[in-house]
Amino acid sequence: MKEHKTSYPITVEVFEGEILFGVNGQTNTLTRGDIVSLEANVPHNLKANKNSIVRLSLSKKDSINRVKGVLKL
């Protein structure tokens, strides 16, 4: 997916495979079990290196601070 952004916070979780996830000019390789969360309006891109299963969660009522709090448990 070419660079884009959303009006709401997002969370991306990799279930299978390997993806390149770019944010602010930095590209990270994400594999099974990796999770990334972004605030609204942050430009990002994604490219699958292998066949992958990825879940994108977008919530109009969610916040990045809530997601970070859950990940610390």
pLDDT at residue number 62: 67
pLDDT per 10-residue tile (average), the chain, 73 residues: 89 97 95 94 94 91 70 61
In this structure, how many other beta carbons lie within 10 angstroms of the beta carbon of residue 9? 22
pLDDT at 55: 96
In this structure, CATH architecture of domain 10-59: Sandwich (2.60)
pLDDT recorded at residue 60: 77
| Coil, strand or helix at 16 | strand
Domain extents in the chain:
10-59
Buried b (16+ CB within 10 A) or exposed e, 33-60: ebebbbeeeeebebeeeeebebeeeeee
Residues 66/32/13/64 CA torsion (nearest 10 deg): 30
